[in-house]
Amino acid sequence: MRYPQGGGLTAERQCKREELRLRAAERFALGEGSSAIARDLRVSVRSVQRWR
């Protein structure tokens, strides 16, 4: 089953997820590793890798 745009998240959860992506992007610019970012943001390493 495929989810519509947004991956099946509510508008509120989509907003929070976007905030996480932006925080991760700031850390990408600092050269931090995916594992450290994932641990601190409490998401999977795979999510961080996709965002990168």
3-state secondary structure 1-52: CCCCCCCCCCHHHHHHHHHHHHHHHHHHHCCCCHHHHHHHHCCCHHHHHHHC
Mean pLDDT within 38-52: 95
**pLDDT tens by residue, 7-27:** 778 889 999 999 999 999 999
**What is the amino acid identity at position 21?**
R
Per-residue model confidence (pLDDT) at position 43 = 95
Mean pLDDT, all residues of the chain: 90
Distant-in-sequence, close-in-space partners of 36: CB < 8 Å, separation ≥ 6: 27
| Rounded CA separation 46/52 (Å) | 10
Q: What's the pTM value of the predicted model, to 2 decimals?
A: 0.79
